[in-house]
Chains A and B, each alone.
Chain A
Amino acid sequence: MREITRYGFTLALICVIAAGLLAGVNSLTRSKIAAQALAEEQMALKEVMPKAEKFAEVKSAQQVLYYKALDGQDKLIGFVFKASGKGYSSVIETLVGIFLDDRISAVKVISLNETPGLGMRVTENSFTGQFSNRDALDLSGVQAISGATISSRAVMDSIVKKTQEIRELTKNEK
């Protein structure tokens, strides 16, 4: 019985010291981590919507639905949202910036796990660059990557579908 008390006490002591140490490091790094995450998000948003100065989240029950893109005078110039579609071997997630007239500003692929050399090429500029200045509701002019039709289609279809959803959501704001 005394043994167990001693073991418990030793382990508890080690845990307390470890917890104290972690609490210290956490308080030192917390603000920095939050700032990093924010900066990263802003940078990604800026990439697909370079004309905007600021972005405002539109949330519904903790989930970010889309971002409003605002210019220098806080005027609404477009929206940024995430679209995702089932590709060849993974879900391809893209960040899309559209102007108020549904013209695409830019598209950036944020996460995917497709076949290297085929589906993975949807991240290349030769593919994503084609989206700029196109009507987000009609992407029929975008050339699919040869040999990776399924991945290409997944990107296009998911963008069209999500744009329609966003249009419904933002009907009152325009």
Chain B
Amino acid sequence: MRNNLIVSGSPHIHKQESIPRIMWTVVISLIPAGVAGVIIFGLDALWVTLVALVAAVLTEIIFEVLTKKKITVMDGSAVITGILLAYNLPSGVPLWLPIVGAVFSIAIGKQVFGGLGQNIFNPALIGRVFLMASWPKYMTTFVKPLSYDTIASATPLAALKEGKILEHISYLDLFLGKRGGCIGEVCILALLIGAAILLYKGYISWHIPATYIFTTAVFTYIFGAKQLFHGDWLFHILSGGLILGAFFMATDYVATPLTAKGQLIFGVGCGLLTAIIRIWGGYPEGVSYAILMMNAATPFIDRYTKNRIYGTS
């Protein structure tokens, strides 16, 4: 994913990077957040994740058998989609919900476009938005952290939207994930460990996550409160799915811009949309919609930020 590639004359050295290798590293980098989710919400979180993962892989196999295409599950991309989808669900959902979501993600979000590399949108987010629009009741019933019981609890963002005053929640709680929310989004610490692996390996670049988080922070700081420049920007960074979205979903290789300049635009766009939805929109959280909307804008961003090819006009 480095830019300014210089292709010199042969001989070329083959580097041991391949799609499966990158994808399986991403899977590993997602594990800390999942472990944290299970610790916070109990074993339900594990079942939801496993069910989504298996359903995503099976859907991919079945679809590729039916359309007589090469079976590509071993590249790990379906596994990632399944995990990311589960991370975007509350832990208390009935188990058919992640199955339906995973089937929709893979079949409608990915395979009908032609499989890996062809999808316009992030498949996991397509699945989540589909579930959100279809069964809002389940998708907005969150489990209270560390209670291991189905005690309903609102997410901090939802409470904020309804005008309730946030109490008993500190920045440290938010950072460690002691709050209601989706399985994989709550523990910021675990997400940052995973993100560090990807950044160190160079599988994702800093452009999108940094501009995304920075823009959201600035915008919520300016407009987040009744008075200008009084918004609680740290709260907005630590709550909702911003960190999960910025590092793991807005950096999807397929549906995001190719050049560094394009990625900066993409990140700023995501940040603006997220902040706008959170502050003025109908939903308490806007990360998934923001990323999907910018996914749709990616072809245009790519067209206007194409690297100039030297020697042509």
A positions within 8 Å CB-CB of B:
88-89, 115-118, 146-147, 149-150
Name the 8 nearest CB pairs between A and B, nearest first. Answer: A118-B136, A117-B136, A89-B282, A147-B140, A117-B137, A115-B136, A149-B162, A147-B137
Chain B 265-291 interface 0/1 with A at a Cβ cutoff of 8 Å (1 = within)? 000000000000000001000000000
CB distance from B192 to the nearest CB of A (A): 31
Say whether, besides A146-B152, A147-B140, A117 and B135 are in contact (CB < 8 Å).
yes
Q: Would you call B141 an interface residue if the criterion is a C-beta within 8 Å of the partner chain's C-beta atoms?
A: yes
Query: How far does the alpha carbon of A150 sit from the alpha carbon of B281 in the complex, in Å?
Result: 14
Inside 8 A of B282's CB, which chain A residues have their CB? 88-89
5 more contacts with CB within 8 A, not counting A88-B282, A117-B135, A117-B137, are: A89-B282, A118-B137, A146-B152, A147-B140, A149-B162
Q: B162 contacts A147, CB within 8 Å?
A: no
Give Cα A147–Cα B136 distance, bound, in whole angstroms.
9
Cβ distance B50 to chain A, nearest Cβ, rounded Å: 27
Cα-based distance from A18 to B174 in the complex (angstroms): 69
How far apart are the CA atoms of A35 and B243 in the complex, in Å? 61
B141 and A147 contacting across the interface, CB-CB below 8 Å = yes
Contact, CB under 8 Å: A118 / B162: no
**B119 to chain A: closest CB distance in Å?**
27
CB closest residue in chain A, given B161: A150
Chain B neighbourhood of A149, CB < 8 A: 162
Q: Is the CB of B140 within 8 A of A150?
A: no
Closest to B152 in A: A146
Known: A89-B282, A118-B140. A150 touches B135 (CB 8 A): no
B147-174 contacts to A, CB under 8 A, are: 152, 162
Chain A residues within 8 Å of B136, by CB: 115-118, 147
Give the distance in Å from the alpha carbon of A138 to the alpha carbon of B162 in the complex: 21
Residue interface mask B122-144, A partner, CB < 8 A = 1: 00000000000001110011000
User: A147: which B residues are within 8 A, CB to CB?
Assistant: 136-137, 140-141
Tell me which residues across on chain B come within 8 A of A118, comparing CB atoms: 136-137, 140
Q: How far is the CB of B124 from chain A (nearest CB, A)?
A: 22
- Give the residue name and chain of the A residue nearest to B163 (CB): A150
CA distance A89 to B141 in the complex (A): 20
Contacts of A150 in B (CB 8 A): 162
Q: What are 17 residue pairs bridging A and B, where the CB atoms are less than 8 Å apart in the complex? A: A88-B282, A89-B282, A115-B136, A116-B136, A117-B135, A117-B136, A117-B137, A118-B136, A118-B137, A118-B140, A146-B152, A147-B136, A147-B137, A147-B140, A147-B141, A149-B162, A150-B162
Q: Which residues of A contact B152 (CB under 8 A)?
A: 146
Closest B residue to A150 by CB, please name it: B162
Task: With both chains docked as a complex, state the minimum distance between the C-beta of B129 and any C-beta of chain A, in angstroms.
Answer: 13
Chain B nearest CB, measured from A74 CB (Å) = 46
**A117 surroundings in chain B (CB, below 8 A):** 135-137
- Docked CA distance A88–B282 (Å): 7
* A119 CB, min distance to chain B CBs, angstroms: 9
Residues of A within 8 A of B162 (CB): 149-150
Q: Chain B 189-208, CB within 8 Å of chain A: the 1/0 string?
A: 00000000000000000000
Q: How far is the CA of A115 from the CA of B162 in the complex (A)?
A: 15
Q: How far is the CB of A76 from chain B (nearest CB, A)?
A: 39
Q: How far is the CA of A146 from the CA of B135 in the complex (A)?
A: 14
Whole-angstrom distance between the alpha carbons of A115 and B132 in the complex? 11
- Give Cα A117 to B140, complex, Å: 11
